[in-house]
Structure 1
Amino acid sequence: MEMEKKDTGKPSLLGMFWRPNEQFEKIYQQPKIWGALGIITLIYVLAASLSALTMKAEDIVVPGTLSLEQAELVLPLTKFTTAVGGLFAPIFGVLISTVIYFIIVKIASKNTTFKQLFSMNTYILVIGAAGLLLNNLIQYLVGQNSDIFYTSLGGVLGSDSPVLSTFEVFSIWQLILVAFGLHKVGQLSKGAAWTISIVFFLLGLGMGFIAETIQGITGI
């Protein structure tokens, strides 16, 4: 499937929430990166800062490794690195996913460019950024730091299960958009695009099972 080149205008981050396919068509024609990436990075920094503000020494205690007294000493540095991490997480996340998808579309002999896929992943990330900000804002308002998102099945059921946390609204939303994007921008068939998204979800679920198993063995 090859889309005819035409002037469709610039893609919109807000448009990703209600007209994603239209944005993917625009990304295919005019892949934009830096403005959108800058906005998403600001959202990530704000979300990470909220997470840092709710962090307590008790949250980073590791039984047998890091005591409460030691945790209190490293807490300021942990808060700082958490906030600063928001600067680098978006671009590294987009870069890694773009490399993976670029390899896939080249194996499929498609003409999609690295820039088009990088732009696609950047715009898709606004969904995850919104979810991260919402969850960290809720944590800040209730004064509780947690690795489990309130918008996940684990958050709804009050469970810290890594498996249940895999079923998270914004993460699943992102994977659905990845399928749309790989079809519209990556020029893959709908079947191939959805298969890739489902495989990535299953990989995440598998990692959740592994994390839960380790959690059960170590008791952490």
Structure 2
Amino acid sequence: MKTESSSNLSSNKGPTLWGILFAPTEQFERMIDRPRFGWALAAMMLVGAIAAALVAYSVALETPAPEEAQMFDSAQLAMVYASLGFVGALIGIPVSLLLISLIQKLLLMLFQGEATYRQLFCLNTHLYLFTLLASLIMAVMMLLLGPSENPEIYPTSLAALVPAEGAVLRGVLNGIELFALWKLFLAAKGLSVIARLSSGKAWTIALILFAGGLLFAALSGWFSELAESFQPPQG
């Protein structure tokens, strides 16, 4: 009786964040019947918001205060930016996961995959752990060493190793990052298991989203260069 009871408990387990690191295939199989994501989403939002706040705080401490905020000292301004970073991540993380899952669902309709939106959201919530690990490493290095000349660069990305001229190329190289590549591999594997796709189709969907992320990074860099080069008319 005890063996049957423990077996039933084991079969009722949902996917875990710890398991996604060390037994990802087992977690993907659990997501088919038990696409649970509540605790994982709460953890990703909280820790991600803390990491964003730490990064914003570290950068703000090293950035000269704008003229309109001269009445505040650097520590006060840093706390304001940290609060904004915290709230921004708290909202941005679930919104980005919802959007990515929606794009995947549309692509699955094209490739005749069988996954539900809930299963895809569960997959992406757990895979966000890899984005979070990259952000935590960045936050810790900033706290220990201070922000670099380009504080948005992940220390685990190609942009941290390869000198790049221009924000566009730097943004692309920043997207080619150790944990992002690990996430790419597991996204393809997860889509194959959950949506019952061939390896080729699963990799195609995963690569489309990865390439879309690189394109977004390149466009963000291009717009930042435009903003920096813009000189308002002198009155």
Q: Shorter chain as normaliser: what TM range?
A: 0.7 to 0.9
Give 2:197's aligned residue: 188
More displaced 10-residue stretch of structure 1: 138-147 or 124-133 = 138-147
Give 2:152's aligned residue: 147
Q: Distance in 1 between matches of 2:21 and 2:71?
A: 42
Shift of 1:131: 1.5
The answer to whether the 8 A contact 2:184-2:210 is kept is yes
Q: Deviations over 1:26-74 (max 9, x none)?
A: 1112110111111111211220121132022664x7xxxxx83236579
Query: Tell me, which stretches of 5 or more residues in structure 2 are unaligned?
Result: 1-9, 230-235
Give 1:32's aligned residue: 36
TM-score for both structures, normalised by structure 2: 0.77
Q: Distance in 2 between matches of 1:45 and 1:215?
A: 23
Taking the TM superposition and a 5 Å limit, the aligned residue runs for 1:37-186 are 37-56=41-60, 59=63, 68-70=66-68, 75=77, 77-144=80-147, 146-157=151-162, 161-186=170-195
CA RMSD of aligned residues (A): 2.7
Aligned residues: percent identity?
28
Residues 197, 112 of structure 1: CA spacing in aligned structure 2 closer, same or farther, 3 A cutoff? closer
Shift of 1:203: 2.8
Give 1:3's aligned residue: none
Structure with bigger gyration radius: 2
Give 2:4's aligned residue: none
The answer to whether the 8 A contact 1:44-1:87 is kept is yes
Shift of 1:13: 0.4
Query: Tell me, which stretches of 5 or more residues in structure 1 are unaligned?
Result: 1-5, 62-66
TM-score for both structures, normalised by structure 1: 0.82
Q: Deviations over 1:60-116 (max 9, x none)?
A: x7xxxxx83236579454332112122122211110111111122233343321111
Q: 2:215 aligns with which of 206, 214, 220?
A: 206
Count of residue correspondences: 209
Q: Distance in 1 between matches of 2:184 and 2:139?
A: 21
Q: Distance in 2 between matches of 1:55 and 1:71?
A: 16
Q: Deviations over 1:161-201 (max 9, x none)?
A: 22221211112221221111111112221101111222223
The answer to whether the 8 A contact 2:49-2:88 is kept is yes
